[in-house]
Structure 1
Amino acid sequence: MIETAEQGAPGRVTEDRIRVLPNAVVVLDGVTSRTRPPDRDGGWYATRLADELARTVDAGTPLTELLAQAITSLVAEHDLVPGDSPAATAAIVRWDDETIDALVLCDTPVVAFGRTTDVVEDTRLADLRPDPDILRWTNRPGGYWVAEADPEAGRQALTASWPREMIKKVVVATDGVSCGVSEYGLFSWDELAELPLGAALDRIREAERSDPEHIRWPRCKTHDDQAVVRITA
């Protein structure tokens, strides 16, 4: 069974994207460039990358190479330029009869629940956030990686695999949802694995409304887009 829930930040159209396929899910969080044309925002990029991944993700190719190839296709089709392109975080979960594979690039974690709870998260951006010139570290060794106009970013994604028989559930969440665990402490990953997904999103929104000045939870914006997928064996 595959469940999904998503909503945009109040007053805006969401730039998160979910694609559910027979043997995979793709979750992206669009990131808008400061200099991109106005019709090419993070949602534009995330839509096209999600569609390209949905077209190819059922192949036997390693997930890192699939993401690199998808980025390459978008660069060629839309003349995207590194450093001057919209971008997206990326998470992919793909399975067959024996194995579950996961990929995480930037801050959209994948959490697998079995005998233990395994959190696959890319903290390279969070590790750099105190830097006032953080953009200079985008898609550079020693910095952080995000799907944009450099296919090397796909090869720098983090991956994990599990025997399918050992995993009961998998959760994929953009940072507008994972913040409920990692920043706000509203619930644990294990609790999120059981909560109604819509109720979890509402609890996050309620918490954010209670802190409009960003004092309890320092953050750059009051609300973020939210997207979450739960896969149950």
Structure 2
Amino acid sequence: MQVTMATSPSRPEGPNEDFTAALPHAAVLLDGAGIPVNDSCAHGVAWYTRRLGAALLAGLAADDHQELTAILAAAIGEVRDLHADTCDVDSPDSPSATVVLLRLDGGRADYLVLADSVLLLDTADGEPVVICDERNATFAAQHRAAMIAASHGTPEQHRAHLAYIEAVRVHRNRPDGFWVAAAEPRAAYEALTGSVSVGDLRAVALLSDGAARLVTPFALIDWAGLAELLRQEHPAEIVTAVRAAEHYDRDGQRWPRAKLRDDATIAYCTRLGG
């Protein structure tokens, strides 16, 4: 398998809270979330995604045919143990992450998607298949509306943001809310999982939601167009196009959104048959 990657932090001076890495037979992408440094955890979101990514790589490298959900559950537990003695890991303010995993196992491609990062399956003979955990998007649509509608930097937007954060605290990793990787290993078993034949695929792309903005919410291209663009261009060109669109709409008027800029990461996997 050949994997081509691109990543860009939302701000050049800030940490990149995304993570991506690959093994000869697997790829991992995480998109961190949470308050960067807070009273519950002094390590920060980037620390969490890097530690969780490393634990996932170790689990995948073992190549012992464990279910991807079991690998993710073990990794969540491992990272929880790294800072359980110093941080309030059960706090809803503690760092969390979306997770996308791809693993080749013989002639099969196994995948796992938890929360709103995207797995794009570029099929050999049809429309691309998009796998994304819509529970996160559904929750966000219900609770972010006031925050997105308000002008950035205004008192109204600040109040709406605080209300959204409180809603996240109540609904994170709950059956009536949404599921992410944080400190609760059982969240792994809420992920979307499946397998497809390697022979049915031309390529697979793992994208953080920041990298998927050309499709949603900007609607400058559709998923089929993005799959075609990835066949022709380096993933860095897609990230550059996202940045250009964000800069064009730097006040969020054309495309209302919670973050004017977001970390953007792509791992593009080809030559899946070896």
Q: What TM-score do the two structures reach when normalised by structure 1?
A: 0.94
Residue 89 of structure 2 aligns with an amino acid whose one-letter code is: V
How many residues end up aligned between the 2 structures?
A: 233
Partners of 1:104 and 1:159 within 8 A in 2: yes
Choose 172-181 or 79-88, whichever is displaced more.
Answer: 79-88
Cα offset for 1:38?
A: 6.4
How far apart, CA to CA, are the structure 2 residues paired with 1:210 and 1:69? 42
Distance in 2 (alpha carbons) for counterparts of 1:29 and 1:192: 20
Distance 2:259 2:247 in 1: 11
- Counterparts in 2 of 1:166 and 1:91: CA distance versus 1, 3 Å: same
* Match in the other structure for 1:60: 65
Q: CA-to-partner distance for each residue in 1:148-187, whole Å, 9 max, x for gaps?
A: 0111111111112101111111010001111211211122
Q: Secondary structure at the match of 1:75?
A: helix
1:127 and 2:138 matched: yes
Aligned residue for 1:56, secondary structure, equals helix
**Do 2:40 and 2:89's aligned partners in 1 also have CA atoms closer than 8 Å?**
no
CA distance in structure 2 between the aligned counterparts of 1:49 and 1:38, rounded to whole angstroms: 15
- Structure 1 unaligned runs (5+)? none
In the other structure, the counterpart of 1:224 is 262
What is the TM-score when the length of structure 2 is the normalising length? 0.81
Residue 188 of structure 2 aligns to a residue whose secondary structure is helix
Of 79, 93, 101, the match for 1:92: 101
In the alignment, does 2:175 pair up with 1:141? yes
For the pair shown, the structure with the greater C-alpha radius of gyration is: 2
Query: Residues 177 and 107 (structure 1 numbering): CA distance in 2 closer, same or farther, change over 3 Å?
Result: same
* Alpha-carbon distance in 1 for matches of 2:110, 2:39: 33
Residue 18 to residue 36, structure 1, CA distance change in 2 (3 Å): farther
Runs of 4+ displaced beyond 6 Å: none
- Number of the residue aligned with 1:152: 186
2:228 and 2:44 map into 1 onto residues whose CA distance is: 34
CA contact (8 A) 2:41 2:95 kept: no
- Unmatched 5+ residue regions in structure 2? 144-163
Residues 90 and 104 in structure 1, CA contact (< 8 A), matched pair in contact too:
yes
Counterpart position of 1:166: 200
Aligned to 1:5: 6
CA contact (8 A) 2:41 2:94 kept: no
Q: Which whole-Å CA distance do the structure 2 matches of 1:216 and 1:31 have between them?
A: 25
Percent sequence identity over matched residues?
33
2:120 aligns with 111
- The RMSD of aligned alpha carbons is 1.6
| Shift of residue 191, structure 1, vs aligned partner | 2.6
Residues 67 and 38 (structure 1), Cα distance of their counterparts in 2 relative to 1, 3 Å cut: closer
Q: Please name the residue that 1:102 is paired with.
A: 111
> Is the 8 Å Cα contact of residues 95 and 182 (structure 2) preserved in structure 1?
yes
Greater helix proportion: 2
The answer to whether the aligner puts 1:41 opposite 2:50 as a matched pair is no
Shift of 1:54: 0.3
Q: Is the 8 A contact 1:109 1:172 kept in 2?
A: yes
Q: CA deviation at 1:206?
A: 0.8
Distance in structure 1 (CA, Å) of the matches to 2:89 and 2:102: 28
Matches of 2:263 and 2:93, distance apart in 1? 23
Partner of 2:226: 192
